[in-house]
Chain A
Amino acid sequence: MNAEHYDAIVLGAGAAGLSAGIYLARANLKTLIINEGSIGGQMVLTHAVANYPGVREASGREISQVMKNQAKEFGCDIESNVEITKLDLTSKKKMVEIDDDEIFTADVMILATGGKPRKLGAKNEDKFKGLGISYCATCDGDFYTGKDVIVVGGGNSALEEAVSLTKWVKSITVIHQFDNFQAHEYAIEQAEKNSKISFILESKITEYLGEQNVEGVIIQNQKTGEFSELKTDGVFVYIGYIPNTDKLKDVIHLNEREEVLSDENMQTNIKGVFVAGDVREKKYRQITTAVSDGTIAALSAIEYLQS
């Protein structure tokens, strides 16, 4: 198999990866972005972004579409919705194979692989994925028109998606493991004042019930340890994200949460390998911070190539 060589390869096409791609391509470096999911990453799931400086208000999808087109116009190649089947970060010439089919090499690599939705770990979760368990209200909300659903989680995503689901569903029960929400005040207020939404706190789903589709769940109260059954037509899960570091963990230094460790210039423990965005160890995960990481990683990579 012939390998095509690039100056730089960016893994991931969320806000961090696209920003890195824009900076690298503008510096006239032959750049390839390889992405396993959707271009825009988690950004595309955000209905309205109102705090991205310079943009009055836009959907995450619109912002990511502009970022993608900017990267392409500056000359970035993009391979998206592919599977990374081999990865070599430690050799001087870095290598990525996709779909057991195409091989690309590069002098530097930027890891911007982001995160993926955390699963609940309840019994029968895999069995009912797409058959009553969903991770995306925008995609699947209308299939639950007039039905009773559960939303799991207590962060912004959970409460905002619960409110957005009320367009279709008859009722929503929000189940959250703690006795208070992590969401911002405005999101809590919106959810609490919606008459279709009720709440069960300090509880966890331990099992999904049903034949072909989800028909109910078993809930455990975290305080008393007691189990109870709740009938439902569907469950939407929003309990945060875990970093996409499965393919990196053998060679890249990670913290105990499996996030990539780096210095302030986004340099990892391997020469020529930089990191950016939600996959790295940091406190705040915003589009703005991902863009900042991507910029720094690209500038550090350019400096590395020149040295």
Chain B
Amino acid sequence: MLGTNLKHIKSEEEFNEVIKNNENVMICCGRMGPMCLPVYDVMENLEEKYENVKFYDMDFDIPEAHVLRNHQLARGFMGLPFTFYFKNGKAVKATSSIQNKKQIKSIIEEYLV
């Protein structure tokens, strides 16, 4: 489990529940390294601003994270974290490596809210 202040997804079952039961979901799948931490920090900050978006992280190294590691939108990704955006249960956007607040906000505005 990652040591962030975000809610964690720990199993495939939980992952399926989260994307099924919420209209807008952002999940950051990473480790606790310097490319991942800034993304979690932004998510913690945006959690207060976007009440209709659910923010989660998932540990890249647990076997269950294959649902994101091997996701078709992550093909060719070579940098952590893998960040996914889901709308009505469907992945609508994914990014590889660090993204700043401006980039994350613009994806949320374009694809989710």
The 8 Å CB contact of A38, one of B3, B5, B38, is: B38
Contact with A along B31-51 (1 / 0, CB 8 A): 011110111011001000000
Complexed CA–CA distance, A78 and B40 (Å): 13
User: Is the Cβ of A83 less than 8 Å from the Cβ of B100?
Assistant: yes
B residues in contact (CB < 8 Å) with A: 3, 5, 32-35, 37-39, 41-42, 45, 78-80, 97-98, 100-102, 105
Evaluate contact between B38 and A37: CB separation under 8 angstroms: yes
User: Which residues from B are CB-within-8-Å of A83?
Assistant: 100, 102
Q: Is the CB of A81 within 8 A of B39?
A: yes
Chain B residue at minimal CB-CB distance from A64 = B37
Nearest chain B CB to A153 CB, angstrom units: 17
Contacts of A65 in B (CB 8 A): 3
Question: A38 and B41: CB pair below 8 A?
Answer: yes
Contacts A38-B37, A99-B105 aside, 6 further interface pairs with beta carbons under 8 A come to: A39-B37, A44-B34, A83-B100, A99-B101, A136-B33, A143-B78
On chain A, the residues within 8 Å of B37 by CB distance are 38-40, 44, 61
Closest to B99 in A: A81
> A79 at interface (Cβ–Cβ under 8 A)?
yes
Secondary structure call for the A interface: mixed
| B residues less than 8 Å from A55 (CB atoms) | none
Tell me which of B34, B39, B41, B79 contacts A78 (CB under 8 A).
Answer: B41
Q: Could you tell me which residues of chain A, from 82 to 119, have a CB within 8 Å of some CB in chain B?
A: 82-83, 98-99, 101
In the bound complex, residues from chain B placing their C-beta under 8 Å from that of A286 are none
Q: Which residues of A contact B79 (CB under 8 A)?
A: 130, 139-140
When distances are taken between beta carbons in the complex, the residues of chain B under 8 Å from A40 are 37
Q: Is A62 an interface residue (CB 8 A)?
A: yes
Chain A, Cβ-Cβ closest to B30 = A139
Nearest 5 A-B pairs (CB), nearest first? A81-B38, A80-B41, A99-B102, A139-B33, A38-B38
Q: Assuming A38-B38, A39-B37, A44-B37, is B101 touching A61 (CB within 8 A)?
A: no
Q: In the complex, what's the smallest C-beta–C-beta distance from A4 to chain B, in angstroms? A: 13
Would you give the shortest CB distance from A77 to chain B, in whole angstroms?
9
B35–A136 touching, CB < 8 Å: yes
Q: Mark A51-63, 1 if CB is under 8 A from B, else 0.
A: 0000000000110
